[in-house]
Structure 1
Amino acid sequence: MVRILSFGTSLTDRWHMRALHEKNLRTFLADVICWNLRGSIGFQLFRLVLLGCMGMGVYAYSFQARYGLSVTGMNDIVSWGFYISNFTFLVGVAAAAVMLILPAYVFHDPDFHRVVIIGEGVAVGALVMCLSFILVDLGGPLQAWHLIPVIGIFNFPSSILAWDVVVLNGYLLLNALVPAYILYSHYRGRPADERKYRPFVFLSIFWAFSIHMVTAFLYQGLPARPFWNNPLMGPRFLASAFAAGPALITLILAIIHSATTYSIDRSVFSKLRLIIVISAIINLIMLFSEVFKEFYFPTHHSSSAMYLFFGMDGHNSLVPWIWTSVGVNVLATLVLAFNPGKSNPKVLLPACLFLFVAIWMEKGIGLIVPGLIPSPLGEVVDYLPTWVELSVTLGIFALGITIVTWLIRAALIIEQEYVGY
């Protein structure tokens, strides 16, 4: 496998030369950029693919900005589609970083302490994607004016969406500044002062729960949408987040372990698997509780669930989608919980991948679109994303992956070369 990091003699020599001079913020930023502009041919090709995807996304968004949201699959009934579906899911991925932050910084777990920076990097990338999906869902860039406090009509605190923008930006700031300070301290060859960053760690733990709860309130507070007006919405958001997020982090750690010289202890994967299993089981229990409530004694409030699971008036585009999601979710959870070879990477990693995809399917389109169907007037339509939505989404995902790659690459080099792991 191509190694995406190469710590050769030139890098070591450069570090010794740098040691002769005072390291500062300028040299720190310069080195981070330099490290990320170098790499193997495989890594350069990977980066070119991401740039191509981002270019496709920019082109599609320019098309959308010119002609408006009419070029998407959304309409008067389904006013939230693929963009908000991915936004909702990625908020959970970002919040899941707390599953590493809590044991690493609060309980001083040595295994998680080695990888917590990676989790925070994933959170930063996920948050940038979340905010990007909000931006593109507005239709055009000028509408973003109202997302800026003081300048625009922010509607704070009356608007739950305004609260969501505040907590997302706050969590992004916390997850960027805390690891940046730690890495900068390590870069300068000295330990980070816990007194300076520990209060922000505790704040970020509280903030991690708040970003997903506020996002849940965004849907839960709509009484005209009974599919969302559910007291389990917030807790299930957290449970699914703490299953899907660590599953993704597990996959990323496995790639780092196999493709770089930064080794990840097997105990990290075992602990993450335990977190994933517990969260996935709780998520399934809540899902089955909701299914029982909807179908044991169906009322007109069960119409959205009926449309999702069985179709309605000949409209059944989401039926195979949701049943596939539930089936894969159950299967992956059973494999992670009871399979004798669950700690084997050949079993663990595919199970994490399938669980991640299953939750994305169920928590994305499987949650957002049915909540809008049927309309308050009883209208039923099918929703399918257009090439514009798919291209913009691909571009945003490429942007997020690029950010995560840059952050993790710099973090691994600093931790390995400067700290001596």
Structure 2
Amino acid sequence: MSTLTEAPKRTHGVKPPRASDHLTSYPRFLWRSCVAATDGNWLFYVWMTVLTAIALVGTHAWAVQVRDGMALTNMSDHVSWGLYIANFTFGVGLAAGGVMMVIPAYLYHDKKMHDVVIVGELLAIAAIVMCLLFVTVDLGRPDRFWHMIPGLGKFNWPVSMLTWDVIVLNGYLVINLHICGYLLYTRFLGRKPNPKWYIPFVFLSIVWAISIHTVTAFLYCGLGGRPFWNTALLAPRFLTSAFVSGPAFIILALLVIRRVSHFHIGDGPIKTLLNIMRITILINLLMLASEVFTEFYTGGAHTATAQYLYFGLHGYNALVPWIWSSIGCSILATLILLCPKVTEHGWLLALGCVLAFIGIWIEKGMGLIIPAFIPSTLHEIVEYLPSALEWKITAGIWAFGLMIYTILLKIALPTFTGKHTLKSELKRLQKIV
């Protein structure tokens, strides 16, 4: 099995491609990508139909929200960030978690990871698109989004952390688009990629992946009026949890790809990601326990938020089932993933990854974003649970993100297996003529 950076060797005397060659080969590459993205069996069409239907429902719900205003959501002046920002936070971690395939492949020269590293890089692209959509739907006036653009908008850049978040997210998206696009195109041409055109960007993406979640954490812990977020552990917790949810999703994707495609995936990459998860999920639980101990043992007025989250406060307990479900999922996932022979049972490994994914999703969303607003700065308790409209929009964005990820994989996998190449395309055209 060839690796990500390998390609058929160029024979002696073959001239390097000229700029004019790309005028014909690149349109062919785009055309074959479109064909690959829409070609599949009945299972693929059922999957895409379901995702399209959910995405359309979410689009309609967002149109209703834009028409009638944010009053249709259950957010208020007291709880101004809800389900959208919760999923945004989790999505940033999911994008950053994709780097867990890049680090072993390029820093530690793991050849087995080279075979499937594209799966993690494509996940980063889909996750960042989802994050940008979650920010968009959270805007009461989405037509004013340009205010978030440094130099054009009125945000206080470079002081505003929100503007920095916009910069690092879009930068990470562009970097991964370049890496994946360049590698796929050279693979299509049957040529070996030029390291100077992608290796520097690979190492830049590693640093950038850490920065996107660090900046997001700084966005929260820099808000002095929300003491629940004012902890130095927030950024390390974000990164650690990202390195749980990211590998968990990638393992699930690899298991599905192995079952439904001809793309060869060995046990090596899955075991590497599993070993990473075994460490990070324990560290994440340790950090969570440290936060809980600090909140409750020291006491004080700021303990009210933690009291509300874990046990309820003055009869209000809407988030208690959420956080304990998260803790239960994380603990059960830890026990499953630590089993020595978990890789021998695919269903058990998948179950552990699903539980870890759900546990982190709740912990970083409903268990972190929402409780920081309760009690409010006026010491009032205004509970929040997402409305049906918010759930529809959220489901629509997730469906759209999965559609993007599926399409990207449909383009990438045949290209890396040699099924879709310029040579095969030219042969096909010759047969037609």
**What TM bracket, shorter-length normalisation?**
over 0.9
Q: Does the CA contact (< 8 Å) of 1:277 and 1:337 recur in 2? A: yes
Q: What's the counterpart of residue 192 of structure 1?
A: 193
> Aligned equivalents of 1:419 and 1:407: distance in 2?
14
Cα 1:365/1:268, change in 2 over 3 Å: same
> Aligned equivalents of 1:266 and 1:363: distance in 2?
30
> Aligned equivalents of 2:223 and 2:22: distance in 1?
59
Please report how far the alpha carbon of residue 340 of structure 1 lies from its aligned counterpart in structure 2 after TM superposition. 4.4
> Aligned equivalents of 2:217 and 2:126: distance in 1?
21
Q: What's the counterpart of residue 247 of structure 1?
A: 248
Q: What's the counterpart of residue 336 of structure 2?
A: 335
Counterparts of 1:65-214 in structure 2 under 5 Å? 65-214=66-215
Please report how far the alpha carbon of residue 376 of structure 1 lies from its aligned counterpart in structure 2 after TM superposition. 1.0
Q: What's the counterpart of residue 312 of structure 1?
A: 313
Please report how far the alpha carbon of residue 23 of structure 1 lies from its aligned counterpart in structure 2 after TM superposition. 5.5
Counterparts of 1:218-297 in structure 2 under 5 Å? 218-297=219-298
Q: Does the CA contact (< 8 Å) of 1:270 and 1:343 recur in 2? A: no
Cα 1:397/1:21, change in 2 over 3 Å: closer
User: Which string of whole-angstrom CA distances, capped at 9 and with x for unpartnered residues, describes residues 334-366 of structure 1?
Assistant: 221145445421221100111100110111111
> Aligned equivalents of 2:268 and 2:261: distance in 1?
18
- 1:33 maps onto 2:34 in alignment: yes
> What percentage of residue pairs aligned between the two structures are identical?
47
User: Which string of whole-angstrom CA distances, capped at 9 and with x for unpartnered residues, describes residues 97-137 of structure 1?
Assistant: 11111121233211110111010111100000001101110
Q: Does the CA contact (< 8 Å) of 2:149 and 2:163 recur in 1? A: no
> Aligned equivalents of 2:414 and 2:145: distance in 1?
37
- 1:300 maps onto 2:301 in alignment: yes
Cα 1:337/1:389, change in 2 over 3 Å: same
Q: Secondary structure at the match of 1:417?
A: coil
Look up the equivalent residue of 2:391 and give its one-letter code.
Answer: L
Please report how far the alpha carbon of residue 139 of structure 1 lies from its aligned counterpart in structure 2 after TM superposition. 1.9
Please report how far the alpha carbon of residue 32 of structure 1 lies from its aligned counterpart in structure 2 after TM superposition. 0.6
> Aligned equivalents of 1:181 and 1:340: distance in 2?
38
> Aligned equivalents of 1:293 and 1:57: distance in 2?
40
User: Which string of whole-angstrom CA distances, capped at 9 and with x for unpartnered residues, describes residues 187-228 of structure 1?
Assistant: 001011112111111111110000000000010101221110
Look up the equivalent residue of 1:81 and give its one-letter code.
Answer: G
> How does the TM-score come out when normalised to structure 2?
0.90
Look up the equivalent residue of 2:417 and give its one-letter code.
Answer: Q
**Unaligned stretches of 5+ in structure 1?**
1-19
Please report how far the alpha carbon of residue 406 of structure 1 lies from its aligned counterpart in structure 2 after TM superposition. 1.0
User: Which string of whole-angstrom CA distances, capped at 9 and with x for unpartnered residues, describes residues 270-306 of structure 1?
Assistant: 1110001101011011000001001113111111111
Q: Secondary structure at the match of 1:305?
A: helix
> Aligned equivalents of 2:318 and 2:212: distance in 1?
31
Counterparts of 1:360-371 in structure 2 under 5 Å? 360-371=361-372
Q: What's the counterpart of residue 4 of structure 2?
A: none
> Aligned equivalents of 1:179 and 1:21: distance in 2?
17
> Aligned equivalents of 1:158 and 1:115: distance in 2?
39
Moved more, 241-250 or 387-396: 387-396
User: Which string of whole-angstrom CA distances, capped at 9 and with x for unpartnered residues, describes residues 243-270 of structure 1?
Assistant: 1110000000000001111121012111
**Unaligned stretches of 5+ in structure 2?**
1-20, 422-433
Please report how far the alpha carbon of residue 21 of structure 1 lies from its aligned counterpart in structure 2 after TM superposition. 11
> Aligned equivalents of 1:167 and 1:319: distance in 2?
34
> Aligned equivalents of 1:419 and 1:216: distance in 2?
42
Q: What's the counterpart of residue 217 of structure 1?
A: 218
- 1:374 maps onto 2:381 in alignment: no
> Aligned equivalents of 2:220 and 2:140: distance in 1?
20
Q: Does the CA contact (< 8 Å) of 1:225 and 1:372 recur in 2? A: yes
Look up the equivalent residue of 2:261 and give its one-letter code.
Answer: T
> Aligned equivalents of 1:340 and 1:182: distance in 2?
35
> Aligned equivalents of 1:306 and 1:22: distance in 2?
63
Please report how far the alpha carbon of residue 40 of structure 1 lies from its aligned counterpart in structure 2 after TM superposition. 1.2
Q: Does the CA contact (< 8 Å) of 2:73 and 2:389 recur in 1? A: yes
Cα 1:200/1:21, change in 2 over 3 Å: closer
Q: Does the CA contact (< 8 Å) of 1:335 and 1:342 recur in 2? A: no
Cα 1:22/1:176, change in 2 over 3 Å: closer
Q: Does the CA contact (< 8 Å) of 1:23 and 1:188 recur in 2? A: no
Q: What's the counterpart of residue 387 of structure 1?
A: 388
C-alpha root-mean-square deviation of aligned residues, in Å? 1.6
Look up the equivalent residue of 1:417 and give its one-letter code.
Answer: G
Moved more, 332-341 or 382-391: 332-341
Please report how far the alpha carbon of residue 148 of structure 1 lies from its aligned counterpart in structure 2 after TM superposition. 2.7
Cα 1:360/1:98, change in 2 over 3 Å: same
Q: Does the CA contact (< 8 Å) of 1:307 and 1:370 recur in 2? A: yes
Q: Secondary structure at the match of 2:190?
A: coil
Please report how far the alpha carbon of residue 308 of structure 1 lies from its aligned counterpart in structure 2 after TM superposition. 0.2
Look up the equivalent residue of 1:185 and give its one-letter code.
Answer: T
Cα 1:254/1:23, change in 2 over 3 Å: farther
Ranges of 4+ aligned residues in structure 1 off by more than 3 Å: 20-23, 338-343
> Aligned equivalents of 2:65 and 2:187: distance in 1?
44
User: Which string of whole-angstrom CA distances, capped at 9 and with x for unpartnered residues, describes residues 294-341 of structure 1?
Assistant: 111311111111110011121101111101110110111122114544
Matched positions, count: 401
Q: Secondary structure at the match of 1:138?
A: coil
